[in-house]
Structure 1
């Protein structure tokens, strides 16, 4: 939809033909000027092509045809190959991102089925952190939209604009986020002011049914958990009415997440759910957004559950691993001619 609406819905003009001829001849190639001029005269510059595809968001096994393009006017038999590269690019990237996201959703779903009382929070368990790590603004929009086929959390604002532009979302919001601190907003208070910085987050964003995230490793994550969140601000965290989501952001993820959960359990206690796994109080959770890939996500979940904690204690944020660390060979995408008359 995005490719068709953005690039194929505007007719070709004689000015476009002039520009293309200049570039292509200078490049050392031949150019079918007569064919393109005939297309403008006969079809008003619109491409006589039929593009058919499985519905977006469908779960389709590999080695299946998901899209085909056919010329609808025999006079323009040469036209499909002109957009093959652009059409394939428009398909492989978001489809691959959606597949990575879908794989992660399966890992998280199985973990929640084993260790949590319900799956209500599943669509918020993997958050898109990839906006600054992607190669372009358009890549962010397309990749994050693909992620939103599976989940409902993103920090990539471009996806929200793209959803409205290409999918007529009207007033429907396709994804959500929560207020979140970053290192600059914490360290701006100075090391001696870290407790005040954390307290300010509670004051500004705490409240009944509200959630907010605070990066807590600016100086010493373990001191932040043991002495600031778990001691100086413990009562404030317990009584604010919302949920504090602590974000570790350095170190080896499996070790850091497990130890963070164990330290939080000491300070805030846990309960056992119906599956026999430990769950922190509703007012405190963890989000791990550093070093997340499909592989590391699986390892973190295994370590956490082996330590007796439910997967519901953790949310994940994925950046480059979601939107950037893919290519056309990740899932062996190709487009080939299948019929010629």
Structure 2
């Protein structure tokens, strides 16, 4: 893929800001936060990718400046907006290394919403315009943060139902309960990598190879973290028509006589497939395998379909009652639900299983678009805002405090109110709190400098992040 020109990775309106900042401005300090949203905490992850991919070292070349100049002249239709000398200054004085300082909370950290996660400031007064010029690119960290947060919240749900309905021995399987099926459902390969790696902080099941590759390339992962199994799709199971479905099923089992293999079984009639084929003609072959067959329904109402399938499978294969008083299929058989799976649906599914005395260990999940694509910046209300500046030598605390009108016509304070001053993130009695940098002088700032003047100062290992998060 062609290397991106950093100079063009900003919203068009920002190219006039070097003129629009009040005369005498020499310093801009901005911060990133999740202002609230679907979940009450956010997992910080993904900044290192953007720093390594776009910002570290010589961030642009002379050719980039010249190309941007010609391009932006066309964008604005005038020559007094983009000032190439701003970037020429950085190239000539710093060899293209960006004179900014970025501090951030440790990646893999779960921080309650409403707290500072990252700050950025210029280190050269001539480049006061640079911190918020980089907002467009750095703001995209919302995406891996949000996917990591969503995946983590799903893990909480899964863990709760395993605790309620499964034995301690079965808990080892939680790592493979939620599988990333989202590669085909995202908008780009880059999204697949970022979202896929974010998911792998919490779970190991994934068909999204891009996630493992990104973790290796940008987070020093010494191994592949996303693991998968042989599995069919409908093009395989429908190849011999409806009358040949049983023979295809038999072929699947014989092709992989050991280990775990998954087979989509709703091409025609999922209930017949479970009762007559898997639970009838192929029952002995399944029970004699040294491994597990995972049956996959792929249509219909998830709860009603799953309850009917489990009823059939318990009847055909039998079951045991575990220490929690719940039914468990023989170890040679499990079910995966990959259709219509989202955060709310997962809670409904596992609640239905519990209500019907079915252990959570019988079921694993596949989540695609709802994991990697049905999120946006407002899921957790991410924003980067300026909170401090120096203008004509005077330090200024900067904030916005908008008043908005609600649906009843009443004036209320907006959630978009921003913080003022330079900030630090402290931890008091295990609770995170954002304070002014001059407050609580004995409290250690949980943010550390990760990037300064083009140099990456902190290089996280994926195993470190995963271990930190999963120890919570």
Moved over 3 A (4+): none
Cα separation, 2, equivalents of 1:11 and 1:289: 42
Q: From 268, 273, 277, give the equivalent of 2:317.
A: 268
- 1:278 Cα deviation from its structure 2 partner: 0.5
Of residues 95, 111, 132, the one that matches 1:81 is: 132
Question: What is the root-mean-square deviation of aligned Cα atoms in Å?
Answer: 1.0
C-alpha separation in 1, matches of 2:283 and 2:358: 21
Does 2:64 correspond to 1:16? yes
Q: TM-score, normalised by structure 2?
A: 0.70
Residue ranges of structure 1 left out of the alignment (5+ in a row): none
Matched, 1:226 2:275: yes
Whether the aligned pair in 1 keeps the contact of 2:279 and 2:316 (CA below 8 Å) is yes
* Contact 1:70-1:80 at 8 Å conserved across structures: yes
Q: Secondary structure at the match of 2:310?
A: helix
Report what 2:167 is aligned to: 117
Per the TM alignment, residue 116 of structure 1 is displaced from its structure 2 partner at its CA by 0.4
What are the ranges of 5 or more consecutive residues in structure 2 without an aligned counterpart?
A: 1-47, 391-472
Counterpart contact for 2:209–2:226, Cα < 8 Å: no
1:4 deviates by: 1.0
Give the paired residue count.
337
Deviations 1:269-324 (A, max 9, x none): 11010010110010000000000000111101111111110011000100010000
CA offsets per residue over residues 103-151 of structure 1, 9 Å max, x none? 1111100000000002211111100011111111110100011111111
Report the Cα offset of residue 8 of structure 1: 1.1
Instruction: Give, in whole Å, the separation in 1 of the partners of 2:50 and 2:351.
Output: 39
Match of 1:184 among 194, 218, 235: 235
| Contact map agreement 2:213 2:224 (CA 8 A) in 1 | no
Taking CA–CA contacts closer than 8 Å with sequence separation of 6 or more, which of the two structures ends up with the larger relative contact order? 2
Residue 187 of structure 2 is matched in structure 1 by: 135
| 2:357 paired with 1:308 | yes
**In the alignment, what sits opposite 1:287?**
336
Q: In structure 2, how many angstroms separate the alpha carbons of the residues matched to 1:68 and 1:182?
A: 46
Question: Given the alignment, which residue of 209, 214, 219 partners 1:167?
Answer: 219
What are the Cα deviations for residues 47-78 of structure 1, in whole angstroms up to 9, with x where unaligned? Answer: 11112211221111111111111112222111
Query: What is residue 111 of structure 2 aligned with on the other side?
Result: 60
The answer on 1:240 being equivalent to 2:300 is no
Aligned counterpart, 1:151: 203
CA distance in 1, matches of 2:188, 2:303: 31
Preserved contact between residue 124 and residue 315 of structure 1 (Cα < 8 Å): yes
> Helix, strand or coil for the counterpart of 2:388?
coil
1:18, CA displacement in angstroms?
1.0
Does residue 7 (structure 1) correspond to residue 58 (structure 2)? The answer is no
Tell me which protein shows more strand as a share of its residues.
2
The one of 154, 165, 168 equivalent to 1:104 is 154
TM-score (norm 1): 0.97
